[in-house]
């Protein structure tokens, strides 16, 4: 916790590729905020928000410091959810007092794609808030905030690298954020864990490594899935050829918290890696999800992309003895498949069909036809 975040990011993101054009697109998307990336073991993600390591931000206090409000600390519209999202939230899940700090898991919400958690760490000896309430505590500032009391108790107050959900190891994916809370000596953090693919019962246990392996079991908690009627999949449309590649919609999950898209871009043989990434970058950084006529676009919240077939990320040695990484196509006679996974804030009214694309020519229509619940598909 004592090192500036940029140093940690340099280590974790050393094998990620992001060109200057994409960096500019990132900065244009969000003026402030931060994005923590924790990579899956099986897929390298080039994530749009990686470079948002900027100055502190405060947010308007509306209903308080709940999970969805904390999501809005990155950008205000990130807190946009549908009313039925509240049915997925479980509150006051666990707490424990350490010698210097009190820890409480305040809220958690499961929507079949993520388990999102908000937890609080309070320095009992504090006589004032850590910073102005809502201020980002983890930006890459010259004098990064140090939560001494939490460090004395070895509490991971800024983020978590893993968790156990239903007895299964899961990784965080996407954003994590810590802000000063309204109470004296309080830091509040939210983190989201990738739980897609888990066969969870209606009620399941969660173990957060807030103190690593010796986290007291009093901080474990049990939660139920809540009302999953508003979480379901859509029937994927037929594949569509666009120029020298095919777009294939693999999955569309409708949640009152987010609309999740998983798309494969199957690029023809003979296209070099740089051009392949240019195709993926356009879908990653510029694609919108709107009504069939292009109106009422949903607000973009997160995205990532990576090669899933026939292109490897390999380490190469340089003449000066250092090393770098580059993309290499495994079999030039076969197509390369890229994955793009954008997420959008949900609309007030779902359309009869979504238009997913990044230009007047490069798009695909996704009819709003329910397939089945992600829960029943497991």
Digitized pLDDT (tens) for each residue of the chain, 378 residues in all: 333 333 333 333 333 344 443 334 333 433 333 333 333 333 434 343 333 332 223 333 334 689 999 998 878 889 999 999 999 999 999 999 999 999 999 999 999 999 999 999 999 999 999 999 998 898 655 567 899 999 999 999 998 999 999 999 999 998 888 999 999 999 999 999 999 889 999 999 999 999 998 999 999 999 998 889 999 999 999 999 999 999 999 999 999 999 999 999 999 999 999 999 999 999 999 999 999 999 999 999 999 899 999 999 888 888 888 888 889 999 999 999 999 999 999 999 999 999 999 999 999 999 999 986 554 444
Q: 202: how many CB neighbours lie within 10 A of its CB?
A: 9
| DSSP codes of every residue in 243-298 | TTEEEEEEEEEE-SS-EEEEEEEEEPTT--HHHHHHHHHHHHHT-EEEETTS-SPP
For 292-351, the pLDDT digits (tens) are 999 999 999 999 899 999 999 888 888 888 888 889 999 999 999 999 999 999 999 999
pTM: 0.81
Provide the sign of the torsion angle of the four alpha carbons 275, 277, 278, 283, taken in this order. positive
For 159-196, the pLDDT digits (tens) are 899 999 999 999 999 888 899 999 999 999 999 999 98
Paired strand residues for 258? none
Residue closest to 187 by CA, chosen among 176, 197, 196, 175: 176
Q: 24: how many CB neighbours lie within 10 A of its CB?
A: 12
Paired strand residues for 194? 114
Q: Quick one: which H or E segment has residue 313? A: strand 311-317
Provide the sign of the torsion angle of the four alpha carbons 47, 51, 57, 60, taken in this order. negative
Query: What's the confidence (pLDDT) of residue 284?
Result: 93
Tokens of 323: 């090393």
């Amino acid at each position: 916790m004592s090192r500036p975040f940029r140093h940690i990011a340099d280590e974790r993101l050393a094998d990620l590729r992001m060109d200057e054009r994409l960096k500019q697109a990132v900065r244009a998307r969000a003026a402030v905020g931060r994005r923590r990336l924790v990579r899956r073991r099986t897929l390298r993600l080039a994530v749009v928000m990686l470079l948002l390591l900027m100055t502190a931000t405060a947010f308007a206090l509306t209903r308080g410091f709940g999970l969805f409000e904390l999501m809005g600390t990155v950008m205000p519209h990130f807190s946009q959810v549908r009313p039925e999202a509240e049915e997925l939230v479980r509150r006051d899940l666990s707490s424990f007092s350490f010698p210097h700090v009190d820890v409480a898991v305040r809220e958690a919400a499961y929507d079949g794609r993520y388990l999102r958690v908000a937890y609080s760490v309070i320095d009992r000896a504090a006589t004032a808030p850590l910073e102005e309430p809502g201020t980002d505590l983890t930006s890459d500032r010259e004098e990064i905030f140090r939560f001494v009391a939490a460090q004395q108790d070895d509490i991971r107050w800024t983020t978590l690298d893993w968790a156990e959900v239903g007895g299964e190891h899961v990784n965080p994916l996407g954003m994590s954020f810590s802000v000063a809370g309204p109470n004296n000596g309080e830091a509040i953090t939210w983190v989201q864990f990738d739980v897609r693919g888990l066969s969870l019962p209606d009620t399941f246990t969660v173990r957060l490594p807030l103190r690593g392996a010796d986290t007291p079991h009093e901080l474990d908690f049990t939660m139920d899935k809540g009302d999953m009627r508003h979480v379901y999949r859509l029937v994927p449309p037929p594949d569509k050829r666009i120029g020298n590649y095919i777009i294939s919609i693999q999955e569309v999950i409708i949640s009152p918290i987010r609309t999740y898209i998983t798309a494969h871009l199957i690029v023809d043989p003979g296209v070099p890696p740089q051009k392949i990434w240019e195709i993926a970058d356009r879908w990653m950084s510029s694609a919108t999800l709107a009504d069939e006529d292009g109106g009422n676009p949903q607000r973009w919240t997160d995205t990532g992309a990576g090669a899933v077939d026939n292109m490897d990320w390999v380490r190469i040695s340089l003449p000066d003895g250092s090393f770098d990484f580059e993309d290499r196509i495994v079999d030039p006679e076969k197509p390369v498949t890229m994955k793009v996974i954008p997420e959008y804030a949900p609309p007030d009214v779902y359309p009869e069909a979504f238009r997913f694309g990044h230009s007047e020519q490069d798009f695909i229509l996704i009819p709003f036809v329910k397939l089945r619940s992600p829960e029943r598909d497991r």
